[in-house]
Chain A
Amino acid sequence: MTCLPQNPPTKKLGLVIDLDICVGCHACAVNCKEWNSSGKMAPLTDMDPYGAKPDGVWFNRVHTFEAVEPKTGVSRTVHFPKSCLHCDDAPCVTVCPTGASYKREEDGIVLVNTDTCIGCKLCSWACPYGAREYDEDEGVMKKCTLCVDKIYNKNLPEESRVPACVSTCPTGARSFGDLGDPTSEVSKLVAARGGYALMPEQGTNPVNRYLPPRPKQIGSKQLGKDVAPRMLEHQDDSTDGAGLLARWVDKILTA
């Protein structure tokens, strides 16, 4: 049924992405592809993968933006991962003519039933965020499942029951949880850091939130200049891991 759930989900599973931390390494996108290539939405077909114009199904894409303050010229580089935002008022669901697209009442995850999808692509037109991915080989639409086959998987240790993009992020820029519960860790994080929704004017009410980059740091106070602290100013007093001779010399010289 492509009407939105009659009882709007109270549990809203989603992602919180910290744009201050993300380094743009694309590990989330790669691990997403890895997990989902054998998961519910498998396969994530690649077309012409070794040719001149490779193309393929990706549920997660990392953009890099530069924001330039027009007056000062101060610029900021922001790596920006984007995947399905599992909107409360998901337009991709209501436009679906077949009922293949649906939003789950129990946790708010938006999914596609690829057995009944006719591949009309209308949902990809309706999504403002580009979260829908057409599989040209299979002729059906696919999308991020929030790793529904991973987060509830009892065969995995509990700490692994998070989406692949979250478990793989080497910098901890991605958090997963219930954004419908104001006391959850992710909701607190959003409240503390002023997390925001993308394109609120589209009226989709996304669940996922983005945390803005933190204000620029003032730099080294010792130098009194507006520059970043340098490694050379940092004194490391520990001798952990040094060889016997080095530690002996260190002891003599320190005394």
Chain B
Amino acid sequence: MHPAKSVIFFTTTTGAGYGLLFWLGILAYRGLLAADFIFGLVAFGIAFSLVVAGLLSSTMHLGHPERAWRALSQWRSSWLSREGVLAIITFIPTGLFALSWVVLGQNTGAVALLGLVGGLMSLLTVFSTSMIYASLKAIPAWSCRWTPWVYLVLSLMSGALLASVLSAMDGIWAAVDWLILPTLFFVGSALVLKLSYWSAIDRGQESNAQTATGLGEFGEVKLIESPHDQPNFLLKEMGFVIARKHSKKLRRIVVLFGFLLPFVLVAGVWFSADSGRYLLLISIPSAAIGLMVERWLFFAEAKHVVTLYYDK
């Protein structure tokens, strides 16, 4: 599949933003974060910027962005529509939570509960994003059962990293101490999930040129003449082949920058809180690079079954 920059940006940034909102809700609920004005402004500013920028970027690849509102109508059947509806509804609890925190200086009791609800709805939104891809049977690498888990855990991981860094930079050690274990857990699970995902998609797929053409009974089927001598829409959109050549190297980059380095840096805080927190800062650009490459591969490595008609 063609890895459109707008969609890579959309899925990674909204994932991180929603993940951060989830952890802010949890931390407030557990009473580990006071409703500090500056901290709230920075944390919610980052979370909402990531979410809003991602959602806006997702409308950029539309042929008619001005008609985007129509996408909210078909939630009965379409995961894309459900994602849009959930993204908007989620702004209500998360927005109220942020306002109470920043404006009223209040994040306990009912407000904390609001934060918790907002956090769960954030995860639901990430889940529906993943289902847009996981529901497409024509792309076996996406309809793989690991896809929703990968999206959810990567969102929780990137959100936890952001929450850890923010708490550490502000010197809120109670929150940092509490966050270390879940952060390590989600970075570790993300690595395991991604490795499982890669080994699952490497195992091949059900459809082949024989079932695509129905000519299997006559032997091995191969294309001898393409319908057009230049790439058409289908090949440009669905027949992306550049990544496969480099997929091994790129997967190593994902593992190193996305998971191993952040894991070591988070664990480092455990041993040395004061100097560790500056090193922890590096985990953000490192994870960003890792996850962008991960998402790029998610698209570029996915083979659409229509390519079977084109010998790709």
Contacts and interface: CB of A to CB of B under 8 A. Distances in A.
Interface residues of A, number: 72
Nearest to B4: A121
B63 A134 contact: yes
Interface of A: 1-4, 19, 24, 29, 53-58, 61-70, 74-78, 80, 82, 91, 93-100, 116-122, 124-130, 133-136, 138-141, 196-203, 210, 212-213
Per CB-CB distance, the 6 closest pairs between chain A and chain B, nearest first, are: A119-B63, A139-B63, A67-B218, A61-B227, A64-B225, A130-B306
Interface string B229-249: 011111011100000000000
B175 to A, nearest CB: 38
Given A53-B230, A63-B226, A95-B136, 17 more contacts: A2-B77, A61-B232, A62-B227, A65-B215, A66-B222, A69-B219, A91-B137, A96-B78, A97-B73, A97-B74, A98-B70, A118-B63, A118-B65, A120-B62, A127-B306, A134-B237, A138-B63
Interface in B199-222: 206-207, 209, 211-215, 217-222
A148 to B, nearest CB: 22
Interface stretch (B79-87, B90-98, B189-197, B281-289): B79-87
Contacts of A95: 77-80, 132, 135-136
B80 A200 contact: no
Nearest to A120: B62
Greatest chain A CB density within 10 A among B71, B213, B224, B304 is at B213
B309 interface: yes
Give the dominant DSSP class at B's interface: mixed
Given A119-B63, A198-B212, A199-B212, A69 B218 contact: yes
Given A118-B63, A125-B136, A202 B233 contact: no
Given A55-B230, A201-B211, A118 B67 contact: yes
Contacts, number: 203
B235 to A, nearest CB: 9
Contact of B71 (A66, A68, A118): A118
Nearest to A71: B219
* Interface size, B (range): 35 or more
A22 to B, nearest CB: 13
A99 B78 CA distance: 9
B139 A125 contact: yes
Contacts of B226: 63
Nearest to A141: B63
A50 B36 CA distance: 64
Contacts of B209: 65
A3 B76 contact: yes
A76 B218 contact: yes
A125 B223 contact: no
Contacts of A70: 219-220
A102 to B, nearest CB: 10
Interface string B298-312: 000000111001100
Contact of A118 (B62, B79, B219, B304): B62
B80 A203 contact: no
A214 to B, nearest CB: 11
Contact of A125 (B138, B215, B231): B138
Given A78-B215, A91-B136, A54 B223 contact: no
A165 B237 CA distance: 26
A96 B220 contact: no
A118 B70 contact: yes
B88 interface: no
A99 B63 contact: no
A91 B63 contact: no
Contact of B219 (A75, A139, A212): A75
B106 to A, nearest CB: 37
A150 to B, nearest CB: 23
A66 B213 CA distance: 11
B161 interface: no
Given A82-B309, A119-B62, A199 B207 contact: yes
A121 B237 contact: yes
A65 B305 contact: no
Contacts of A99: 70, 73-74
